Amino acid sequence: METRCRNKNVLTVFLKFNAVLLLYIFSLVAVQAQLRVVPYAAKEHPVEFNAARVSSALSLPFFDDFSTVKGPGPDLAFWMPGSGVYVNNNLTNNHPSVNIATFDGLDALGKAYTLTNPMSRNYTDSLTSRPINLSAKAVKDSVYLSFYWLAKGLGERPDSVDFLKLDALDRSGNWVEVWKQQGDVLDEQYKQVLIKLTNQAFFHAGFQFRFSAYGRNTGMYDMWHIDYVYLNANRNVNDKYTLDLTVRNPPTSFLKGYSAMPLIHYRIDPAKATNETLSIDVVNRNNSINKFTYTMLVRDEISKTIYQNKPAVSVDIRALEEKNIAIPIAPVSVNGALKKINLQYKFSMSTTDHQNKMGDLRRNDSISGRVQLDDYYAFDDGSAEYGVQITQKLGRAAVRYAMAKPEEIAGVRVAYVPFDTDVTGQSFVIQLYSEKNGLPDQLIKQQAFAVKDVAVRNGFVEYKFQSAVAVPATFYVGWLQLNDIPITVGLDRNSFENGRVFSSMANSWSVEDAIKGNVMIRPFLGSGGEGINVGLEPVEVVESIFYPNPSTGIVHWKREGLKKIDVISVDGKILRTLVPKTGQVSSQLDLPDGTYMLKWTDGKQINTQKVVIVK
């Protein structure tokens, strides 16, 4: 797998990650890597191939650009169930029309196909059409299947031994390969493929075609994307253009600098918090000039209040043009009684896209953006394309937030992307810092928590502090890595801004501008919560003081004069508290086998260490 490294003080960022090779390199190279970007992987889930057939076959034309669903799976009106492809609008930015089907190496549940061998290769995702009745057609009817494909996109590039292929089902029930593309593709533009069905055995009542990806089956290591799949008769090799105007990328954010913010903060200065314009891109897929009108509707999905309804505007668009439209928007005047707003801003075109042989293509003529005005701040769009890790024990990462005013933070919501090893139950520390000279400064709050399993793809886990924490308007939220095996936090690669992400291995911080994306960690306002308060003083990064580790139950410590030692479970509960006597440097811990946190203080500082008990 392609690997790219960049050293910067204590930083090594990995944009292409080979799990086995790089772990070996880390053991040899004396470079203190701090943050790295890794592909999105997940827990093992068995492969399930669904070969069910339906009794009623589709008829020509067959066309799907995946715009009829929001994901994560394809539209079952066109495709067989059980597909592992991920329908999204985030993993590329130059696709033919809104939404794509991504072969991401994860199954239909968002799980890796296997974790037995990190280097294992096999067939991963597949996408099979519903049966299509071609019994009335023959080779002479010039039936073509066309589609657009792209390797990598915003994900990982497939290796040269990987491939994406297309098979067609003949009347004997055999899958026949009709197209194949090897990996290691450097081109970043979608390519269109037109394939003529020249085998008479394909012309039967239950014809199907199937895309299949082959590569690493332990996560999102090899990524392919397809769009605009079209099967019809009376076509030719030059049938490349379509009477279709379509939207494509998600609209830009309604908010200035954020994807979400607390409603009470938005109310302080709506004009300052709101962008002046929204940006929409429209693509003309035909080789002739066209025109359309558009409207923009802004409304609250909860109260149904309409805040803006822009009258129709007429626009001309040139042949094959990709046109960007900037639409002025106004700040929202919020009713004081409202506690939360789910703001939707919907761009809709009026076109003549139903007047073509492919069917009614007006379904890809609208697109919506959404912004939460609730209780939290966020930079990310809610979709993780990668994960980010702290590479060394006791390393720290932090994200800068600039709020509308000083506030109380009740906790943090974290999006995990599982990677290689299940770290559920493993302890880590959430930290809040003040700012000085553009860097994290004093530790305001830290609290230990355990990693929780995420039930759904791109889901967030909420961690509440014991009590709300007062922070200045500009502060930093991040985490301290307690273990050798890192947790992996989601990374949204669709947008980023320099000077937002920071890392530290000791007492100094450095900016992480090589991390091109938004770390998916969201502070929220309020009060109340659960957990263990690890301390308010700055963490001193010191050598381990408890030994041996692992222990059979008796622990020793290297420092005399410890005032108190809390023994904490991985779910954050204090199991017991030790108050050492003068000169005492060991104690028997009558605890079951497992992992525990020892929080100690000598009256001047507070620190923690993980210990493992194995009897």
* Euclidean distance between CA atoms 490 and 7, whole angstroms: 22
* Predicted local confidence at residue 42, as pLDDT: 41
Q: Yes or no: say if 386 and 477 are a contact pair by the CB < 8 Å rule.
A: no
Residues of the chain with pLDDT under 50: 1-33, 40-54, 528-542
Domains 62-232 and 379-535 share a fold: yes
> Where does 379-535 sit in CATH, by number?
2.60.120
Cα-based torsion angle of the residue sequence 479, 106, 383, 413 in order, rounded to the nearest 10 degrees: -30
* Euclidean distance between CA atoms 609 and 589, whole angstroms: 15
* Predicted local confidence at residue 538, as pLDDT: 36
Q: How far is CA 457 from CA 99, 109, 217, 532, in A?
A: 17, 8, 17, 28
* Predicted local confidence at residue 457, as pLDDT: 78
* Predicted local confidence at residue 50, as pLDDT: 38
* Predicted local confidence at residue 115, as pLDDT: 66
Task: Name the phi and psi angles at 141, rounded to 5.
Answer: -80, 0
> Where does 546-613 sit in CATH, by number?
2.60.40
Pairing relationship of beta strands 546-547 and 554-557 according to DSSP bridges: antiparallel
Task: Concatenate the DSSP letters of all residues of 509-571 into one string.
Answer: -EE-TTS-SEE-EEEEE-----SEEEESSPPP-----EESSSBSSEEEES-S---EEEEE-TT
Location of structure tokens 């094959």:
320
* Euclidean distance between CA atoms 431 and 101, whole angstroms: 38
By three-state DSSP, how is residue 12 classified? strand
DSSP 200: G
- H or E segment to which residue 462 belongs: strand 460-471
Q: Yes or no: say if 469 and 535 are a contact pair by the CB < 8 Å rule.
A: no
* Euclidean distance between CA atoms 385 and 397, whole angstroms: 19
Helix runs in 90-212, H state only = none
Q: Yes or no: say if 221 and 152 are a contact pair by the CB < 8 Å rule.
A: no
* Predicted local confidence at residue 570, as pLDDT: 66
Neighbours of 362 (CB within 10 A): 18
For domain 248-374, give its CATH number from 3.30.2130.10, 2.40.50.140, 2.60.40.10, 3.40.50.720. Answer: 2.60.40.10
By three-state DSSP, how is residue 461 classified? strand
**Homologous superfamily in CATH for domain 62-232:** Galactose-binding domain-like (2.60.120.260)
* Predicted local confidence at residue 120, as pLDDT: 78
The domain spans of the chain are 62-232, 248-374, 379-535, 546-613
Task: Report angle CA 296, 301, 305 to the nearest 5 degrees.
Answer: 70
